[in-house]
Amino acid sequence: MTETTGLPPWDSVLAVVAHPDDESFGLGAVLSAFAAVGAAVDVLCLTRGEASTLHGVEGDLSQIRELELRAAADALGARGVTLRDLPDGGLSALDPAVLDDEVEHAMGRAHPDGLVVFDSTGISGHPDHVAATAAAVRAGERHGLPVVAWTLPEEICGALAGEGYAGFLGRPAGEIDLALTVDRTAQLAAVECHPSQAVPGSVLWRRLELQGDTEHLRWLRRP
């Protein structure tokens, strides 16, 4: 593993995620780090997250989660957000060309130097995460662009599993390329913009505690 406090030297970044809150709960510290050094950050979110939302939330979930996403993106310093309404929980069942078209349109607006995604494991193994990342990697291959993924060390996943939070898929040190020192201030502000999801007792809080001020990244497509 290469230890670094630096980011890829990109002037424009496109994050491709599956659900509203992925940009904050998962990629938040990385995206805010890009924004802090002057990079233009755009977010493509492929679903409105109705199926993956927590229960007991009153109101139109698609509207609630859109408002949360846009507020969170502002907190992270993002330039723009594109929110689509592909089937939450069903991205992996779609023709890959459908996802490819969404990413192509977003890239046409953002003109990114690189893409930021969840690890190819989906972090939690969620098939929507896996499908969104795969679409971004295909776009990177078509356009000759690098793709960097947020991942978790297997030690953190093991610690979470030992505390009853099973399901996270980590990477051994040899599969992690970058260890990035981060300031989580903007990420935590973005997380607070998702009150329908960031509830007390959520595994999110314990995961962030275990991560401390370090984010781990791996190249899915190198520069």
Q: What is the pLDDT of residues 84-136, one digit of tens each?
A: 999 999 999 999 999 999 999 999 999 999 999 999 999 999 999 999 999 99
pLDDT band at residue 194, thresholds of 50, 70 and 90?
Answer: very high
User: Can you spell out the DSSP letters for the chain?
Assistant: -EE-S-----SEEEEEESSTTIIIIITHHHHHHHHHTT-EEEEEEEE--TTTSPSS--S-HHHHHHHHHHHHHHHHT-SEEEEEEEPTT-GGGS-HHHHHHHHHHHHHHH--SEEEEE-TT-TTT-HHHHHHHHHHHHHHHHHT--EEEEE-BHHHHHHHHHTT------B-GGG--EEEE---HHHHHHHTT-TTT--TT-HHHHHHHHHTTEEEEEEEE--
Q: What is the pLDDT of residues 25-59, one digit of tens each?
A: 999 999 999 999 999 999 999 999 876 665 555 66
pLDDT (0 to 100) of residue 99: 98
pLDDT (0 to 100) of residue 2: 39
Q: Enter the pTM of the model.
A: 0.94
Q: What is the pLDDT of residues 150-176, one digit of tens each?
A: 999 999 999 999 999 999 999 999 999
